[in-house]
Amino acid sequence: MAPGVSNLFLQDTRSPRSKPYITELSPLCMVIKPKALLGAHEKEVEWYHDFVDLNGRPAKDDLVALFRVTPSPGFTMEDAAGRVASESSVGTWTTLTTLTPRVRKMMAMAYDIAGDLVRVSYPEELFEEGNMPQILSSIAGNVFSMKAVAGLRLVDVVWPRKLVESFGGPQFGAPGIRRFMKVPRRPLTASVPKPKLGLSVEEHARHGYEAWSGGLDLLKDDENLTDQGFNPFSRRAKLSYRYRDKAEKETGERKSYLINITAETREMERRAKLVHDLGGEFVMIDICTTGWAALETMRDVCGDLHLAIHAHRAFHAAFTRSPTQGMSMAVLAETARLVGVDQLHIGTAIGKLEATKEEVVALRDKVHGDKSPGLGWDLEQDWYGMKPLLPVSSGGLHVGLLYPLLDILGTDIVVQLGGGIWGHPDGGRAGSKALRDAIDGYLEKRTLEECAERSPELSVALRKWGTSTYK
């Protein structure tokens, strides 16, 4: 025995969940890796294959992640998969003299490799309950920068019950929003005044009044409108809510405003308090740019203030769009539901934004179902009673695309038109009425052409845009 080395570190400390490929005993520990791939010194340090067990199965309470893995030249899929599991749990680049049997039980395990898809199970003990930044720092952290992977994408996650129930989830969700908006059945409608930036406070609020008066439910700020000099937040909020109240009295319908409070966290708290004091029901937050820690704080703040959170996903495509790198929009949607937003943009499948029909439908199921199927695998997510979000469909929509959109996504959604309202030849009021008339026609099972015969506003809109997609 080497001097100073205890029997503990000479034991075969392999995880009971793993079956090694080739084993050699070093003076310090058991090393596992194919001999052909190792140099003389490497045989004494690397142990990544100890994190691969293709005969293993996840425990009931494990978090399970699906990765798409592209190994770098010179690395096999098992080499890369072992590194992903190791570096996202208890492993590192070398064998350790400090690894006890207790810690070994916390090893993540790559247990299934099918083509370029790898399933990794993580013991629940690795994660802090109710802490999304910590969880994502584990399963979507340093593993993305390892030299052994030329590409790595977190495709999907199955969250164990204990972690799901450690998060607050939506405060209102789809059912609660429908209750306070008094819209029990039809799709809700929303719009951003256009141009999306540059309008003064007076112009912005007046456009909101026009749209509300035409039948719009929700006025919405653009994701990059916050507190600029041409449109200060406080003045915009005060005037817009006055116009909101005026539109409610005139139409007899409930109206609301998705006002963007995105800022440094303490400033978001101040803005949310102002919205509450002015009688607002919603705040909007750019959740990707503010971050998960800020969102967790604002979920608590908005819970105290009884404000629903409309989540905008600006910045997401920087890491969700590549099919071989980053994190999928599906995982982002799941995390948003767990942390507790009430509405989330999911795309359109037929508008100007990139996403297939299948992807958008899968996102709807992720945020809206009691259970949601996995993406390309057989594991299902049970939400254990967590409220469903209200999906928001937006991006290049107009009334000519409404029917196929609702055929794809159903009616328990928010339909958001920007240019499709403000590009109407007769203005925003007419654009909003055209949208409401088309929705009513869809629910009444009339054709769009039949609706246009009864609605001059819809007829004018269809003459301009037809049923084409504009990219």
Q: For residue 1, what are the CA distances in angstroms to 10, 28, 43? A: 9, 9, 19
Looking at residue 231, the DSSP 8-state letter turns out to be B
Length reported for the chain: 471
Q: At a CB cut-off of 8 Å and minimum separation 6, what does 408 contact?
A: 349, 350, 357, 360, 361
325 φ, ψ (degrees, to nearest 5): -145, 145
What would the two tokens of residue 460 be?
């004018």
SS3 239: helix
The dihedral built from the CA positions of residue 348, 352, 357 and 363, taken in this order, carries a sign that is negative
Query: Parallel, antiparallel, or unpaired for β 23-25 and 109-114?
Result: unpaired
Q: At 111, phi and psi to the nearest 5?
A: -110, -5
Q: Tell me if 247 sits within 8 A of 213, measured CB to CB.
A: yes
- In sequence order, the β-bridge partners of residue 302 are none
Distance CA 414, CA 110 (A): 39
207, 312, 424, 433: the active-site residue: 312
**Rounded-to-5 percentages of helix, strand, coil across the chain:** 40, 15, 40
State how far the Cα of 438 lies from the Cα of 458, in Å rounded to an integer: 7
194 is catalytic: yes
CA distances from 299 to 136, 170, 273, 276, 393 (A): 18, 8, 13, 14, 22
Q: Are 398 and 417 in contact (CB under 8 A)?
A: yes
Select which of 194, 220, 310, 345 is catalytic. 194
* HSE (side-chain half, CA atoms, 13 Å) at 10: 8
Q: Are strands 117-122 and 109-114 parallel, antiparallel or unpaired?
A: antiparallel
From 460, 372, 448, select the one nearest 407 (Cα to Cα): 448
The helix/strand count (H/E) of the chain reads as 18, 17
Burial of 371 (0-12, 13-18, 19+ CB in 10 A): exposed
| Residues contacting residue 41 through CB under 8 Å, at least 6 positions apart | none
Residues with catalytic function = 194, 312
